[in-house]
Amino acid sequence: MSALRSTHFVVWLAVASLVAGCSGDGSQLSPADRSASFVTDRPQGHKHTAPIDHIIVLVQENRSFDNLFATFPGADGATSGKTHDGRTVPLTKHVLGTLDVNHDYKTYLTDYDGGKMDGFDLSDFIHSKQKVGTYPYMYVDPNDIKPYWTLAQQYALADHMFQTQGSGSFTAHQDLIAGATAIDSTHSVIDTPLGSPWGCDAPPGTKTSLITTSGQYQRAKGPFPCWNYPTGTLRDLLDAKHVSWKYYAPAYKAGSVGALWNAFAAIQAVRQGPEWSTNISIPQTNVFNDITNNKLAAVSWVIPDQPDSDHPGNGKGHDEGPSWIAQVVNAVGQSSYWNSCAIIIVWDDWGGFYDHEPPPFMDDAGGLGFRVPLIVVSPYIPAGEISHTQFEFGSVLKFTEDTFGLGSLGTTDARATSIGKLFNFNQAPRAFSPIPSQRSRAYFLHQPPSYEPVDTE
């Protein structure tokens, strides 16, 4: 077991005991204390000193860093890439809507090619199973994603954010609430369940796939996709400290292929408990109402509907993702929450698209995965910051844990560098300027649900 990953298992039972015994009132500090610089690695139970009372995680789909920010000034992008036969090919400019490329663990290993990052041309298209050739070697026209570039220019763009696992969306969304997908000391779930919907509502007999700590891939050897992790999820830490949370997810129809796109749909204690009615908010546009009505939780995850997710596959270039993100940010920025918020915009996996930067290490759970974009928006972010610090999904969890004094899950949050270092809490809060976008908030509020899966891999 690698040293970087072993922390998770060494503290397993200790963390479970600490979570069970957490207590605290979450009261605010004095203004003097709250103006102090943010400090990471606080002891459990320490009240936060940063002026952040609300963290909002906006999750988008299937884009590598080079795919969205290859030409962003000052960032670690690339405009050419290597193929498996030693050629150097240019990255071609495309619209945001594109074809869907395989992005499971097998494809990750092929693309990675032992760190050479030259196997992307050997992948398959998901639906046709044909070889992609140089198709993944592309970047999105900046004019097609203007809100993302505007946000990156006005706030912070991190160009070394790595997904936790070289796998698809199912486990990526688990990592964003749990920091890992380890179901015991030697097995982690990887790839998607072999049946949909993903989670406790899957058909009886649905299996998951596993990767062992020795690196063995075990297809269809995992449990039914409805479990409680031994270390819990961030929900457990939040509940223990009486910190409010909410998870906004798209609407669904029972039995439809898009029935559930929701990380907590696979967490038994939530899906089959009372919090499914109180903390899971469907549809995702409820976030606008909660902001307007001053009902925003301390921690929120916001999952878009399929047309607004940046997910490739429609081939038409009409994805509304940038406008969706801009309108959620605008809703917060134009509300009373602005001076106490941190908005984290992250893409869940690389989607099969080329990226030139190899993951910095390999652990025993199929990661780190490839780079994905990370934009952090807050009145305490210096304008135009580009961070080259190594982050991973556990960095988001660690920031949340530190902000609210939750303690640690002891998964990848234990090894990760907190995104807290992007903030300057000594600066006066910056005034908000609305992010221009093609679509309005009203457009999304009146958009009928698609009932389509946000992702199928």
Q: What is the pLDDT of residues 302-349, one digit of tens each?
A: 999 989 999 887 545 566 999 999 999 999 999 999 999 999 999 999
CA distance 139 to 93: 5
In-domain check, residue 316: yes
DSSP secondary structure, 310-341, as one string: --S-SSSS---HHHHHHHHHHHHHTSTTGGGE
The yes-or-no verdict on residue 93 having pLDDT over 80 is yes
In-domain check, residue 15: yes
pLDDT for res 206: 96
Residue type at 121 in one-letter notation:
D
How far, CA to CA in Å, does 189 sit from each of 192, 254, 282?
A: 9, 25, 26
CA distance 394 to 402: 12
Q: Which token pair is 284?
A: 């995702």
Q: What is the pLDDT of residues 268-278, one digit of tens each?
A: 999 999 999 99
Provide the domain limits for residue 270. Answer: 3-166+231-445
The yes-or-no verdict on residue 182 having pLDDT over 80 is yes
Facing residues of 391 across strands?
161
In-domain check, residue 214: no
The average confidence (pLDDT) of the chain is 88
The yes-or-no verdict on residue 234 having pLDDT over 60 is yes
Q: Pick 199 or 4 by higher pLDDT.
A: 199
In-domain check, residue 189: no
**CATH code for the domain in which residue 340 is found:** 3.40.720.10
In-domain check, residue 183: no
**What is the total count of domains within the chain?**
1
pLDDT for res 387: 98
DSSP secondary structure, 227-292, as one string: B--TT--HHHHHHHTT--EEEE-----TTSTTS---GGGGBHHHHTSTHHHHTEESSTTHHHHHHH
The yes-or-no verdict on residue 371 having pLDDT over 80 is yes
pTM: 0.89
pLDDT for res 48: 54
Q: Check: CB of residue 454 under 8 Å from CB of residue 258.
A: yes
In-domain check, residue 420: yes
In-domain check, residue 13: yes
Nearest to 353 by CA among 126, 75, 57, 144: 126
pLDDT for res 20: 35
The yes-or-no verdict on residue 61 having pLDDT over 60 is yes
In-domain check, residue 451: no
CA distance 429 to 452: 39
Mean pLDDT (whole number) for 16-35: 32
pLDDT for res 318: 61
pLDDT for res 19: 33
Residues 6+ away with beta carbon under 8 Å from 291? 331, 332, 335, 337
pLDDT for res 409: 98
Mean pLDDT (whole number) for 286-301: 98
The yes-or-no verdict on residue 6 having pLDDT over 90 is no
pLDDT-derived band at 264 (thresholds 50, 70, 90) equals: very high
Burial 16-28 (b: 16+ CB within 10 A, else e): bebbeebebebee
Percent of the chain clearing pLDDT 90 (strictly above): 79
Residue type at 104 in one-letter notation:
D
